[in-house]
Amino acid sequence: MSSPSEARSPIFYGWVIVAVTFLVQFVAVGTTMYSFGVLQKPMVEDLAGGSRFGIGFAPSVMFAVGAITAPFVGRWLDRGFIRHVMVIGAGLLSLGFALLSQVETLWQLLLVFALPLGLGVSLMGHIAGAAVVSNWFTRRRGLALGVSQFSVSFSGVVAAFATSALVEALGWRGTVAIFALLPLLGVAPVVWRFIVDRPEQLGLRTDGDLPSSEPEAMKAASIPEAPWSSRQTLSEPLFWLVCAGFAPCFAITSSMVMIFYSLATDRGFTEGEAAQVMACLAWTAALGKPGFGWLVDRVPLRAALLLSTGTQILGLLLILQASSFAELLLAAIVYGSGFGGVVTLQSASVAAYWGRDLFGRTLGLMMAVLLPVQILGLPLANWLFDQTGSYQSALAVFLGGYALVVLVFWRIPARREAPAPAAAH
């Protein structure tokens, strides 16, 4: 761990934290989420009992395990074990990919996605990265979260082309064997060397402020650092309102990432063109994260949420009608720019309403609550494909989900009252 003297440099150490979380999420998401769209077809052809519907459950069970364990992960993060949690997650992710390269049947694939991969992503992914970044920033939290989570979509730019090239050269098994090397050798050492849970551990303040420079208004607006139980969080209407808005968003966006490559090739586009569309989607989604992070630091949270959702609706309408390569690229640009803000705005919402000390456990509880809706998206899309021969029906259902999101986000309040001190359970 760096010493305080090492931390006092012209560059605020919080941006080092952002850079490390960028790397962590780049590997965690790129190898599991964005690569799956390319790996799905060769897996269906190779595995005994494989079908799009069956293999489509693989990311869902991974998300399910991540969501079930999220409340526990959140508590560990809030108690100061962020670095340890991330390193353990990296080891599990490497183990999972090594095992995945050896599976022969559908049930073996689902088991690997459920346990080592699901646990690995849960420990080193979104919650841990957002928690440590939120600990280091207050005024510029939205921007910092956006830059950190830029990697979530940027990984798709690399994954779409790299995975396609690796599969062509090595097959899908050789590709995931390469993936097994990245977390353990590329991520774990960096996390262990540079991650520090809070600026106070290095004698610093959030945003790089001097000890006496925090504005009084910022102090008054912050959430008191008081004990707060999971039961109290679950009893809050605000918690359920936020969950109701983000549940359809996560179900739809995660499904779209998984099916977009196949959707493009099913419409007659080449694999190279499909990879270009995926890369375009990932690029615009990546830019949307710091963009919406910057925006949410300056406008009401509700305005940012509605703008993100409205852009996704427009993009989905364009995808439904796209018949040429240029039209599909335009649709990917519009949709990606909107859905890129979802993860950043969720983290910003939790930080704004529950504060630093409650961030990990609140986000963890939220991920668990989102599970029943989130895991339905991809299996539903693939089931509708099996029934109709295209993803058009799935896209229509997703539009209905976005209509619900608009209604919910319209009711999001500008702020919340600070929670009263209570005994933690």
Q: How far is CA 211 from each of CA 8, 15, 30, 203, rounded to the nearest angstrom?
A: 13, 19, 39, 9
Among residues 396, 326, 420, 374, the alpha carbon closest in space to that of 126 is found at 374
Average pLDDT, the chain: 88
The predicted pLDDT at position 328 comes to 96
DSSP, collapsed to helix, strand or coil, labels residue 48 as strand
Residues 373, 247: contact at Cβ < 8 Å? Answer: yes
Collapsing DSSP to helix, strand or coil, 105 comes out as strand
- Residues with Cβ within 8 Å of residue 400, at least 6 apart in sequence: none
Whether domain 12-199+228-409 has CATH 1.20.1250.20: the reply is yes
Task: Determine how many CB atoms are found less than 10 A away from the CB of residue 139.
Answer: 14
Q: Exposure string (b/e) for 264-300, b if CB count within 10 Å is 16 or more?
A: bbebebeeebbbbbbbbbbbbbbbbbbbbbbbbbeee
Q: Give tens-digit pLDDT for 294-345.
A: 999 999 999 999 999 999 999 999 999 999 999 999 999 999 999 999 999 9
pLDDT digits (tens, 9 = 90+) for 7-35: 456 789 999 999 999 999 999 999 998 79
Question: Average pLDDT for residues 395-417, to the nearest whole number?
Answer: 91
Nearest to 292 by CA among 343, 347, 350, 341: 341
Percent of the chain as helix, strand, coil, to the nearest 5: 80, 0, 20
Cβ atoms within 10 Å, residue 192: 14
pLDDT digits (tens, 9 = 90+) for 233-264: 899 999 999 999 999 999 999 899 889 988 99
Average confidence (pLDDT) over 265-271: 90
Asked whether residue 392 carries a pLDDT value surpassing 90, the answer given is yes
Dihedral of CA atoms 281, 256, 264, 323 in degrees, nearest 10, equals -80
**What is the pLDDT averaged over residues 271-275?**
88
Can you give the pLDDT at residue 372? 85
pLDDT at position 157: 74
Checking if the pLDDT of 224 tops 80, the result is no
pLDDT at 223: 47
Is the pLDDT at 278 greater than 50? The verdict is yes
Cα 333 to Cα 240, 306, 338, distances in angstroms: 31, 18, 9
CA dist 259 and 300 (Å) reads: 33
pLDDT-based confidence at 116, cuts 50/70/90? very high
Sign of CA dihedral 377, 128, 234, 240: negative
- Give the position of tokens 């895991």: 375
Q: How far is CA 205 from the centre of its chain?
A: 27
Cβ atoms of 156 and 279 closer than 8 Å: yes
- Measured from the Cβ of residue 373, the count of other Cβ atoms closer than 10 Å reads 18
pLDDT given at position 401: 96
**Mean pLDDT, residues 280-306 taken together:** 92
Nearby residues of 19 by Cβ (< 8 Å), 6 or more positions away:
none
pLDDT score, position 216: 40
Q: Which residues are paired to 48 by β-bridges?
A: 105
Question: Taking a C-beta distance cutoff of 8 angstroms, is the pair 378, 391 a contact?
Answer: no
Mean pLDDT for the stretch of residues 49-58: 84
3-state secondary structure of 395: helix
pLDDT reading at 65 higher than 70? yes
Which one-letter DSSP state was computed for residue 199?
G
Domain boundaries, the chain: 12-199+228-409
pLDDT above 70: percentage of residues in the chain: 91
Least confident range of 51-60, 71-80, 210-219: 210-219
